[in-house]
Chains A and B, each alone.
Chain A
């Protein structure tokens, strides 16, 4: 008889092969581009780290300090990102999907099913490790000519980090599971998002305080020891601390490497035992509960509690169109967990922005203005990701249900407008938050902060207009899954157009920042440029989409 693992692995391979065969050329193109992008990011990170570590290692005194800090910070941020993205997906992955899989009805031992899911979880949350920690360790190893031994150590460290992250994510999933009884899935996801966001910001504040780099720049061995002590104190209670300290042993400073590694092993062992106990005690019970939830079991025609009349909040003229969108969004665990992972990227972005701000000297306007423009473009990229995931596929769902509004006396431009307000409101709010956090991280003067927030909002609204407009004019009829809708030709066109738009905004913001930093003047031409371009896009797509809707057959 084949082992249970072989059966489960075979099912995964079958799914993957089917997905590949059913995908169109555009989807494969995007998948290939995505992989290439990931490889490029990892390679870029490697060379960035390599350059940095080479310079650092040349400096006997300050090098070890900064390198230790980089290792500590990158391990920690990776662990937090991995744990958070793991925790957001782990409920689905460990419980819901496990309850749905075919082997659920086969005589496969429960712990094997959990282990299989656990490996999947490790792979799902491995992206920050592969993009940050692996390049950093490889770069450190080549910069220090540390040889094969260090390479072996790096591989072990990466695996240990992954295991640690997956264990923490699993523990969080088990801790949150009982709450799903009392809190609706939508609210739980919202609470998780808010919690991770606040925790992430708090962590960034602790790890990258203002004036950090003054503390880390040292000129005597006493100062160096004090700085190392400061780093030790900052990261003392983080689970990644011993691993980062062990990774810094190429600098020869510490004799405690063995102790550090033992600490890591002890930590992982404890977490593993805890998870094993949790699985033993609760996994079966949670799987049954998951199998009986409304969205999996679809108990047909089951009666439910009566709610107050709809629309409950937006009771004015066309508020009900808006409220329906909101209800559908907040009742979809899929959409919410996706939004949660995008908010995590926002936290990561803030970390990067703060680290950049700490290192950038504001005395050089041409360099500093590029950093400002880059921040706005990064917010635009985040907004685009959200718009392509949520706004772009939304009109397709409307086509399938188009008879409801189509055969009613509602003007079609009103339905488009409300859809636009809904998505542009949400995405614009996240972009505004991004702009505010950027201004806060860099400590911008008011005129620069105002331009940053204004451009961030304009970018969020315009990118949403492009995505929603393209989705309305060319609904991706072939795509059933909103995760893949953006890989249709119309979706690729939307991404390309947004790219051009973001490039133009980049130029305007850079110009504005440079003028402001070198002369203290407000460059109103750039402000007008951003506003005109954005308004033109929003209005143009509004007209085009409404025209398309009025000539549509449902």
Chain B
């Protein structure tokens, strides 16, 4: 049986800021149908890793491929197949929530009828249909987060890259986000998620990559993480704390 083709692939990627490596020789891949969790302490390079896949940062060495396309050599081809949800949901304050989603739909060249039905479905999932008519600048942090999540799912990307999806969300919205992601994976999507919300990550992700100072400190399924940490019954959080203590 052949391994499924990866939709996201880091090929020995490094990124330096002021000659200090933020990401150092990173190699990993995400296949269709799986959610990979990116964990690690603050400043370990998670955001940098994700931004390089979106073409927002340019790797100093190595290559990032999305659906087989090099993000630096074929940026538009690669970006057509991905979506990014940032850690800080800063967007156009004087557009309404719905206008922002429509704007994103235009960026990805969606058919307008299809776009409207997708937007309604996603807004309904969060119960945001009425609220989304307000100006983005008047939204609370959680609402902004949810709207940018909708923007990420709008064009059904091959791979969804999310930086800290659960910050500022109420428990019900976390539940909604989880079901939206699970549905999207069922339809053949893939996700790469950086998060500190480890209990949610444990439920959601099939595999984990733990970064420390820009390098992979541990990687694998929950069972493999448990073995690495020497905690056969431990939660992801227990494993994380034990592994982080050894760094």
Contacts and interface: CB of A to CB of B under 8 A. Distances in A.
A32 interface: no
A521 B135 CA distance: 57
A219 interface: no
Contacts of A403: 54, 56, 84, 86, 90
Given A309-B116, A402-B56, A409-B107, A327 B94 contact: yes
Given A299-B138, A301-B138, A307 B133 contact: yes
Interface string B201-237: 0000000000000000000000000000000000000
Contacts of B54: 403, 406-407
A405 B130 CA distance: 26
A390 to B, nearest CB: 14
A407 B99 contact: no
Contacts of B82: 407
17 contacts: A301-B131, A303-B130, A303-B131, A303-B133, A310-B99, A327-B99, A400-B90, A401-B92, A403-B90, A404-B91, A407-B56, A407-B83, A407-B84, A551-B58, A553-B51, A554-B51, A554-B57
B92 A294 contact: no
B114 interface: no
5 closest A-B pairs by beta carbon, nearest first, are A303-B130, A407-B84, A407-B54, A408-B107, A304-B133
A553 B92 contact: no
A437 to B, nearest CB: 31
B143 interface: yes
B111 to A, nearest CB: 12
Interface string A281-311: 0000000000000100011111111110111
B140 interface: yes
A324 interface: yes
Contacts of B93: 328
Contacts of B75: 409
A294 B94 contact: no
| Chain B CB within 10 A, most for which of A299, A404, A411 | A404
- A interface secondary structure, majority: loop
A320 B104 CA distance: 10
A320 B107 CA distance: 9
B143 A408 contact: no
Contacts of B108: 408-409
Interface string B84-113: 101000111111101100111011110010
A306 B98 CA distance: 9
A307 B99 CA distance: 9
A332 interface: yes
Interface residues of A, number: 35
A468 B36 CA distance: 41
Contacts of A205: none
B52 to A, nearest CB: 9
A307 B96 contact: yes
B80 interface: yes
B134 interface: yes
A410 interface: yes
B58 A553 contact: yes
B46 interface: no
A294 B96 CA distance: 13
Contacts of B116: 309
Contacts of A554: 51, 56-57
A554 B58 CA distance: 10
Interface in A377-411: 400-411
Given A307-B133, A406-B56, A320 B106 contact: yes
A226 to B, nearest CB: 57
A554 B116 CA distance: 29
B56 to A, nearest CB: 4
Contacts of B184: none
Interface string B110-122: 0010001000000
Interface in A325-382: 327-328, 331-332
A325 to B, nearest CB: 10
A311 to B, nearest CB: 7
Interface of A: 294, 298-307, 309-311, 320, 324, 327-328, 331-332, 400-411, 551, 553-554
Given A310-B102, A554-B56, A410 B107 contact: yes
Nearest to B83: A407
Nearest to B52: A553
B196 interface: no
A549 B130 CA distance: 36
Nearest to B116: A309
B79 interface: yes
Contacts of B83: 407
Contacts of B91: 401, 404
Contacts of A407: 54-56, 79, 82-84
Contacts of B151: 404
A309 B54 CA distance: 28
Given A303-B133, A407-B79, A324 B92 contact: yes
A41 B138 CA distance: 43
Contacts of B94: 327-328, 331-332
A324 B103 contact: yes
Contacts of B98: 306-307, 310
A371 B93 CA distance: 45
Interface string B125-141: 00000110111011110
B55 A406 contact: yes
Contacts of A320: 102-103, 106
B139 A411 contact: no
Contacts of A300: 138-140, 143
A407 B71 CA distance: 10
B212 to A, nearest CB: 23
| Chain B CB within 10 A, most for which of A298, A305, A307, A324 | A324
B197 interface: no
Contact of A306 (B77, B106, B133, B135): B133
A401 B102 contact: no
Nearest to A306: B133
Interface in B143-163: 143, 151
Contact of A303 (B84, B134, B140): B134
A294 B134 CA distance: 10
A303 B96 CA distance: 11
B175 interface: no
B42 interface: no
A327 B133 contact: no
Contact of B79 (A311, A400, A409): A409
Contacts of A298: 137-138
B87 to A, nearest CB: 10
Contacts of A305: 133
B179 interface: no
Interface string B47-67: 000010011111000000000
A551 to B, nearest CB: 7
A408 B99 contact: no
B167 to A, nearest CB: 16
